């Protein structure tokens, strides 16, 4: 089904966020594992896989609309040198994702594309859940201190 080029472009913007997130979460997972923070490593790894599934869904939708998925586009991948930086970078990327998808959802209403809107609605909800997790972790760090927080991240 030939879809709106505006929607395909919006989906590709979302795909850029998803591909960036895969890499951001994957490197955060590897670094946390190397530092001995198994619980965080698992969380970031699971997030990376979730983002891969999101990218898969977005690619499928772009192809359904007879568009070309822009898989070589990435946003800046900010590799955190500390756990706090990793969480903050994740928060910023997820917030960008929510903003990107919310703008695209408005376009879907204009273009009368309920299928793409439904997919993007799902992406917003899942990104908001990730934002909530990041904000909770930052609050935990603030309340218990970084050392106590990290001590709780050693074991799964």
Structural domain count of the chain: 1
Feature table: binding site for heme b: 52
Of the chain, the percentage scoring pLDDT greater than 90 comes to 97
pLDDT level of residue 66 (50, 70, 90 thresholds): very high
Q: Residue 82 sits in a domain of what CATH number?
A: 1.20.1260.10
pLDDT value at position 156?
81
pLDDT exceeds 90 at position 139:
yes
pLDDT level of residue 53 (50, 70, 90 thresholds): very high
Of the chain, the percentage scoring pLDDT greater than 70 comes to 100
Feature table: binding site for Fe cation: 18, 50-51, 54, 94, 128
Do residues 29 and 41 touch, judged by C-beta distance below 8 A?
Answer: yes
Residue 91 CA to residue 96 CA, distance in Å, equals 9
pLDDT value at position 29?
98
pLDDT value at position 154?
95
Residue 113 CA to residue 86 CA, distance in Å, equals 35
Domain range for 69 is 5-152
pLDDT value at position 59?
98
Burial (CB count <10 Å: 0-12, 13-18, 19+), residue 66: exposed
Radius of gyration (C-alpha) of the chain in whole angstroms: 17
Across the chain, what does the average pLDDT equal?
97
Q: For the segment 15-28, what is each residue's pLDDT rounded down to a tens digit?
A: 999 999 999 999 99
Residue 90 CA to residue 142 CA, distance in Å, equals 17
> 25-52 burial by CB neighbour count: b if 16+ within 10 A, else e?
bbbbbebbeeeebeebbebbbebbebbb
Alpha-carbon dihedral angle through residues 40, 124, 93, 116, given to the nearest 10 degrees: 120
| Mean local confidence (pLDDT), 91-110 | 97
- 3-state percent helix, strand, coil for the chain, nearest multiple of 5: 80, 0, 20
Feature table: binding site: 18, 50-52, 54, 94, 128
């Amino acid at each position: 089904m030939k879809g709106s080029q505006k929607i395909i472009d919006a989906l590709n913007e979302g795909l850029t966020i998803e591909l960036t997130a895969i890499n951001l979460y994957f490197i955060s997972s590897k670094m946390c594992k190397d530092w001995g923070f198994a619980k965080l490593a698992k969380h970031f790894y699971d997030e990376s896989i979730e983002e891969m599934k999101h990218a898969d869904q977005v690619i499928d939708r772009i192809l359904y609309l007879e568009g070309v998925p822009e898989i070589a586009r990435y946003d800046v991948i900010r590799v955190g040198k500390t756990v706090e930086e990793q969480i903050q970078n994740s928060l910023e990327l997820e917030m960008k994702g929510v903003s990107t998808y919310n703008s695209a959802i408005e376009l879907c209403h204009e273009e009368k594309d309920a299928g793409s809107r439904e997919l993007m609605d799902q992406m917003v909800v899942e990104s908001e859940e990730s934002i909530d997790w990041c904000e909770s972790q930052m609050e935990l760090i603030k309340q218990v201190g970084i050392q106590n927080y990290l001590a709780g991240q050693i074991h799964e």
